[in-house]
Amino acid sequence: MTVVQFTPFSSLVQPAFWHELTRLKIDVLKLSEESLPITASYSVGRSITDRETGQEVALGCNLTISDDSFNDTKTLQRLPANSVRVNGTFKNFNTIEEFKEADKSALFNQTADEIWNGIKATGDISLLNRFLLITFADLKKYRYYYWFAFPAFVAKPAWSIDDAGWKSAEEHIGRDALSGIHTQLQSSPSAYFLARPRSSEDKTDSHNYEIAPISSLDSFFANTPAEQQIIGFVDPSPLPQNPGWPLRNLLTFLRIRKSTLNPIRVLCWRDVDIPASGKPWKSRFGIVQASVSEAEGDVRPAAVGWEKNPQGKMAPRMADLAPMMDPSRLADQAV
Partner 1 sequence: MQHAIQRNIFALRDYLSPVLKESKFKEHGRITPEEFVAAGDFLAYKFPVWTWEKGDASKARDYLPSDKQYLVTRGVPCLRRATSLAYTDADEDAERLLSFGDSSAPGDGDEWVETHAGRKPNHDTAASAGEIGDIPDIDADADGAANALGNMSLSGSKAAPPAGETPDLDDIPDMEEELEGGDDEATAAPSGPTGGVIDASEVEVAKGNLLQVRTYDVMITYDKYYQTPRIWLLGYDENGSPLTPPQVFQDISADHAFKTVTIEAFPHSKSLQAASVHPCKHASVMKKVIERMNAGVVEEQRRLSGGSATPTKEGKKWPFRKSSGNKEEKTPNDDDVEGMRVDFYLVVFLKFIASIVPTIEVDSTTAF
Q: In which element (H, E) is residue 328 found?
A: helix 327-333
**120 sits near partner 1 (criterion: CB under 8 A):** no
The Cα–Cα gap between 25 and 28 comes to 6
Handedness of CA 157, 163, 167, 172 (dihedral sign): negative
Among 24, 76, 256, 319, binds partner 1 (CB under 8 A): 319
Closest approach, Cβ 324 to partner 1, in A, equals: 5
**105 sits near partner 1 (criterion: CB under 8 A):** yes
Among 26, 226, 292, 330, binds partner 1 (CB under 8 A): 330
Handedness of CA 184, 185, 189, 195 (dihedral sign): positive
Burial of 146 (0-12, 13-18, 19+ CB in 10 A): buried
Sole window of 176-184, 208-216, 258-266, 326-334 interacting with partner 1 (rule: CB under 8 A): 326-334
Q: With CA atoms as reference, report the closest residue to 94 among 49, 44, 54, 135.
A: 135
Closest approach, Cβ 315 to partner 1, in A, equals: 5
**176 sits near partner 1 (criterion: CB under 8 A):** no
Closest approach, Cβ 329 to partner 1, in A, equals: 6
**332 sits near partner 1 (criterion: CB under 8 A):** yes
Backbone torsions φ then ψ of 223, nearest 5 degrees? -110, 20
Among 231, 266, 268, 321, binds partner 1 (CB under 8 A): 321
**DSSP line for 217-239:** HHHHTTTS-GGG-EEEEE-----
Please identify, using beta-carbon distances, which residue of 46 and 196 lies nearer to partner 1: 46
**241 sits near partner 1 (criterion: CB under 8 A):** yes
Please identify, using beta-carbon distances, which residue of 154 and 226 lies nearer to partner 1: 154
Q: Do the beta carbons of residue 35 and residue 91 sit within 8 Å? A: yes
Please identify, using beta-carbon distances, which residue of 56 and 171 lies nearer to partner 1: 56
- Using CB under 8 A as the criterion, what x/- string covers residues 46-85 for binding partner 1? xxx-x-xxxxxxxxx-x-x--x---------x--xx----
279, amino acid identity:
K
* Beta strand pairing call for 62-65 and 10-13: parallel
Among 88, 118, 180, 240, binds partner 1 (CB under 8 A): 240
Backbone torsions φ then ψ of 93, nearest 5 degrees? -105, 150
**276 sits near partner 1 (criterion: CB under 8 A):** yes
**324 sits near partner 1 (criterion: CB under 8 A):** yes
Among 42, 90, 131, 159, binds partner 1 (CB under 8 A): 159
The Cα–Cα gap between 51 and 316 comes to 35
The Cα–Cα gap between 149 and 134 comes to 9
Please identify, using beta-carbon distances, which residue of 11 and 194 lies nearer to partner 1: 11
* Beta strand pairing call for 264-269 and 230-234: parallel
- Using CB under 8 A as the criterion, what x/- string covers residues 11-50 for binding partner 1? xxxxxx--x--xx----------------------xxx-x
